[in-house]
Amino acid sequence: MEALDADGIGIGTDARGRVWTIRGGIPGQAVLAGGRPKGGALMSIVEAAPDAVEARCPSFGTCGGCLYQPMPRPAQQAAKEAALTTLLAPLGGGPIEVVGAADEGYGYRNRLELSFGVERFLTRADQAREKAGEVVERRGSYVGFHGAGRFDRIVDVAECSIADPALNAVLARVRADVLASPFAMWDARAHTGFWRHAGLRLGAEGVLVLLYTTTGGEAEAAWLGEAAPRWGAAAVLWYTTDRVSDAAVGDLRAVLHGEARLAVSLGGVPLRLSPLAFFQVNQSGAELLLDVIRRDLGTGGLLLDLYCGVGALGLALHAGFEAVAGIDLVEEGIAEANRNAAALGVRADYRAGRAELVLPGLLADHGVGAGREGRLAALVDPPRNGLHPDALRTLASLPADVLVYVACRPTSLARDGAALLAAGWRCTRLTMVDLFPHTAHVEVVARFERAQATLAPESG
């Protein structure tokens, strides 16, 4: 394997000169792969990378959540930086700045989502034993993560090495009680069973446990009411659903313990969120990301916060601006943003809807136009697919001093950034924030300034 591509997937060349992309392939390795060159499957490691370290997680290679545990953190960052440099070179912006903690990258996740099931996902060693004629346990009761590409098989895990220790401590108690309970795990093929999913979230007040089950009856309710308080969680919420689709969704049945709230902070600004609200999974990494955004935005005037979610970034930055105005599609998130703004005494205007539809009216209400006086700074943090073409056209013609684009998918930034360049912006800085150690994911912050009079990009 020679490098990583823009999505963090390993790239290598075989003996016939064919280029392969292999999920889990690490630069410096020699691997045996199956399937086809585009999207090959890693079968085994023939030779480890020269600088390889031992993966800390016993489920590494089976779980699939982490890809790079055998890579030292500096090597992970260097490989990601190299891939981004190639992808984002057309934007300019100079050398990519790399920001990330200097630790080993374990114990940082503040959120986990696990599944319950009756069939175990087999490791490669299990498959080899089974092929050799040994009896390998498949059916039982399991708690963990779905195996790659399988909705019906569970990688049984006792803990997650990249999760905060507080989550693992509560998980151990939940897991022990659930496995000892008289109620069946969900069978994803037969659509039977009680236990379906468990979510764990760490906030300032402790761990929230979100349990998802089928409807159940009085016996299940009584069991949960007795068990929940002994798990050491700040709160335990019970959601039920009888849908057959495999997703951690449901209607709130009961608050079994504690209060249904998630207390967090960002940049020293306290926020109260609903248990299901989005917040970055890496608290310390989110602080680093915030520092980069604050530097790139500068201060003064109106801050326009697009795809703002629950408003965490805008509210954390509010002290540097006269007012904050934000848009997001999810009404519940906007309601939370407005509640938190009111509690903090922040002058803010958050509105729900599609950015491309709401933005023109929001700008008009704040006097943003050709004759507007005062500074305007734009913060754009879109979903993985990037900006809608209509929203991009409106953004491209904004009379803003600076536009900061936060990308969780660098390929979306490459596409949208090219449109901004064509509309008269120039990229002045690119920063990679290593927010998700040992995984393929990364956040990129791009800072744009006006280069010339803007023209809206062509539609389509």
Give the pLDDT confidence score for residue 113 in this predicted structure: 96
Q: Is 408 annotated as catalytic?
A: yes
Query: Which residues does 378 contact at the CB level (< 8 Å), separation at least 6?
Result: 303, 304, 306, 395, 398, 400, 402, 403, 404
Tokens of 232: 């050491």
Give the pLDDT confidence score for residue 455 in this predicted structure: 39
Whole-number Å distance between alpha carbons of 185 and 213: 9
Give the pLDDT confidence score for residue 128 in this predicted structure: 80
Give the pLDDT confidence score for residue 456 in this predicted structure: 41
Helix (H, G, I), strand (E, B) or coil at 168: helix
Query: Which residues does 31 contact at the CB level (< 8 Å), separation at least 6?
Result: 1, 10, 12, 22, 25, 42, 43, 44, 45, 46
Whole-number Å distance between alpha carbons of 398 and 420: 11
The amino acid present at 273, given as its one-letter code, is L
What is the distance between the terminal CA atoms of the chain, rounded to a whole angstrom? 37
Ordered mean pLDDT values, 10 residues apiece, the chain (460 residues): 90 94 92 91 90 92 90 94 96 94 91 96 83 89 90 93 98 98 96 97 97 96 97 98 91 96 96 94 96 97 95 96 95 95 96 91 82 82 91 89 96 96 96 95 95 46
The H-or-E segment that residue 389 falls in is helix 389-396
The amino acid present at 393, given as its one-letter code, is R
Q: List the helix and strand counts (H, then E) for the chain.
A: 10, 22
Under 8 Å between Cβ of 324 and 343: no
Give the pLDDT confidence score for residue 452 in this predicted structure: 55
Please tell me which residue in 57, 63, 408, 427 is annotated as part of the active site. Answer: 408
Give the pLDDT confidence score for residue 453 in this predicted structure: 42
Give the pLDDT confidence score for residue 374 in this predicted structure: 77
Give the pLDDT confidence score for residue 80 in this predicted structure: 94
Whole-number Å distance between alpha carbons of 9 and 12: 10
DSSP state of 124: H
Give the pLDDT confidence score for residue 454 in this predicted structure: 41
Q: Record the pTM.
A: 0.91
Give the pLDDT confidence score for residue 458 in this predicted structure: 41
Q: Please name each of the domains of the chain with its CATH number.
A: 1-52 (no CATH), 111-264 (2.40.50.1070), 281-450 (3.40.50.150)
